[in-house]
Structure 1
């Protein structure tokens, strides 16, 4: 059985069980017009118009129905060329692609309601865990879309999934239970795209994606959170499919195979303000992750631990500074390459002109590969509903690095956002 027949029927049953008359219907939309020019390659990377409509329906019972859509028209068609088969998405989570330049997507469609002390949310939605910004340790419930690598805000490149969530109090704690029968995994653009993470397949070989896709392989998890003596604490558990695949070439069948394994994630987070400084931290342990040994081609299964420590400073007027250190460690001597990987981030943000102007600089640095990504961004609110923006996404380092591989895709961008 697939995700939508189960979640969809539950959602339909809940809607039919409510009084037919809605108390209130609210609509809002965001229209974004943007362009990005890859100056190293000497070509336009995108010229697009994105419409994000939103409808909120409030019922007399107190229930709320949220629907968010997205329509994007990209004249250049460089970020996800053509009409890809979307092999990483489950059937009912895929976009609609009428032609090479237009894509339509139901981003979110969920119903939430209080049943006694329990908060229930059912439908296509995002579930956000953890304290880290950008670097994911616990925030792995929803996969990501790498259409533009990690450049957009995570809210826009996180893929909402068909899922059920319930929250309820347990003494001084809040318990959250989540069930996800949606088999969608992280969406990497294929060969030929600007930010392709897949190697070019040799010869006439084809890509085969082998991932669990049934109710018996659903993801499920639990999160317990509390506030104790100024500390915001959580304990997390998730049994899930690792979203990043093991990629290997099968010469006998001339195919590139991307397959996935199941794992138990156990971890927690903690944060607390100390005056003008806020300490954030989270740690996670995956019971199993698979790697391919380059020399022998052997597959190694190993536990992987990761953590992130962050400091946020807001002691200067109109300034915000945040720094993070992130490390992952493989608990096996047989794993390829190095056993640990480290990254660091630095974010500096300033508001000016009575908060009408926001300027931001973000640097991500990979300590192992010694490559980096620098994002510069500025927004100016011309009016309440009109915002101009401009920026640059700059990649540095060798072509074998996490960021350096996209050196030629460094870009300048500008855009306009209208809210109505």
Structure 2
């Protein structure tokens, strides 16, 4: 049975015994019109229109059904060229490609319902864990799309999965149980796309993705959260597939192979405001990841630990400043120099003109590769349903680095959002 069928059965089960007549059906839509120009290469990365409709249906029982779609028309077709095979996505999570320039996706499709004090959500959804902004330690339930690398908001980069969660109050804690029978993994554009992360040394475009089986390799998780003495706390456990693959070059077959492994993730979060400063922390340990030594080519299994420490400051009127330090460490060392990786982020946001104008600067610096990404953005709310946008995404550093590899793809972005 397919994940969508399981989700459908669960939805039917939740609906059993409650009136099916809807109290109210509400519709809203966002239309984003955006163009991005890579000034160093003199090429357009995208000229697109994205429609994101949302329908919310409320039932007499208090249950709520949500459907969110996404349709895109891109005149350039450089970010995800043609009609890709989507090897990283499970069958029921794939997009539709009516043409090279059009893609359609059922983004989210879920039912919310209370059974006594227990909250249940079943369907295609995003499940967000953790306290970090952009840097993922515990927020790994949903894989990401790298269609535009890490440039869009993470809400639009997460790939919603067919899954189920239940939140159960237990004294002063809330227990969240998670089941994900959808084996979609992190999606990189195929070789030839603007932000592809997959090497193609043979110019053959041959990629073998050994993605796990959706039902046999379901993910299971438990999160305990509470508010204690001013601290927002959580304890997290997840048995899952590591979404980022081990990439191997298969020389005899002249192809590229993406392999995956299962792992136990244990971690937690803690945050608390101290006056105008909020301290955030997040830590996680994976029992097993795999990497390939850059010198010997040998594959090694190892545990890996990651943490983020963040400080948010809001003591200045109309200003918000946030900084984070992120480190990941492999417990099994090798002869190469990649056992520890560190990044720092700095976010500065200012609002003016009665909050009509928002200016934002985000910098991510990789201490190992000494390269960086700087994102500058200005948004002007022209009316209640029109927001104008001007931005720049700038990459710096050596081509071998995390961000420097895309330094020729630095771009200027302009567009607007219409809501109705």
Q: Do both proteins adopt the same fold according to a TM-score greater than 0.5, normalized to the shorter chain?
A: yes
Alignment of 1:73-92 (within 5 A): 73-92=73-92
Question: Are the counterparts in 2 of residues 300 and 335 from structure 1 also a CA contact under 8 Å?
Answer: no
What are the equivalent positions in structure 2 for 1:14-413 lying under 5 Å apart?
A: 14-15=14-15, 18-204=18-204, 206-334=206-334, 336-413=336-413
After TM superposition, where is structure 1 displaced by more than 6 Å over at least 4 residues in a row? none
Aligned equivalents of 1:217, 1:336: Cα separation in 2: 32
Give the secondary-structure state (helix, strand or coil) at the position aligned to 1:394. Answer: strand
Question: 1:2–1:213: 8 Å Cα contact kept in structure 2?
Answer: no
> Are 2:45 and 1:6 aligned?
no
Q: Is the 8 A contact 2:391 2:414 kept in 1?
A: yes
What is the alpha-carbon distance in structure 2 between the residues aligned to residue 295 and residue 334 of structure 1? 9
Q: CA separation in 2, counterparts of 1:119 and 1:322? A: 33
Separation in structure 1 between the aligned mates of residue 29 and residue 204 of structure 2, nearest angstrom: 44
Give structure 2 stretches of 5+ with no counterpart: none
**Contact kept in structure 1, 2:191 and 2:205, CA below 8 Å:** no
Secondary structure of the structure 1 residue equivalent to 2:98:
coil
User: In 1, distance between residues paired with 2:203 and 2:380?
Assistant: 49
In structure 2, how many angstroms separate the alpha carbons of the residues matched to 1:222 and 1:186?
Answer: 22
Deviation digits for residues 184-214 of structure 1 (CA, Å, limit 9, x no counterpart): 0000111111101001241536100002113
| In 2: Cα distance, 1:292 partner to 1:31 partner | 43
Offset at residue 16 of structure 1 (A):
6.2
Against the structure 1 CA distance between its residues 204 and 414, is the aligned structure 2 distance closer, same or farther, given a 3 Å change threshold? closer
Secondary structure in 2 matching 1:354: coil
Question: Is there any run of 5+ residues in structure 1 with no aligned partner, and where?
Answer: none
Cα contact 2:90–2:214 (8 A) shared by 1: no
Query: Number of matched residues?
Result: 420
Distance in 1 (CA, whole Å) between partners of 2:239 and 2:336 is 25
Q: Scaled by the length of structure 2, what TM-score is found?
A: 0.98
Q: Is the 8 A contact 1:291 1:336 kept in 2?
A: no
Q: Is the 8 A contact 1:389 1:415 kept in 2?
A: yes
Instruction: Return the alpha-carbon distance in structure 1 between the equivalents of residues 6 and 267 of structure 2.
Output: 29
Q: Are the structure 2 counterparts of residues 85 and 201 from structure 1 closer, same or farther at C-alpha, using a change threshold of 3 Å?
A: farther
Deviation at 1:125, TM superposition (A): 0.3
User: How far, CA to CA, are the matches of 1:138 and 1:257 in structure 2?
Assistant: 26
- Report the CA distance shift for 1:335/1:286 in structure 2 as closer, same or farther (over 3 A): farther
Separation of aligned partners in 2, 1:383 and 1:294? 53
1:8 shift after superposition = 2.4
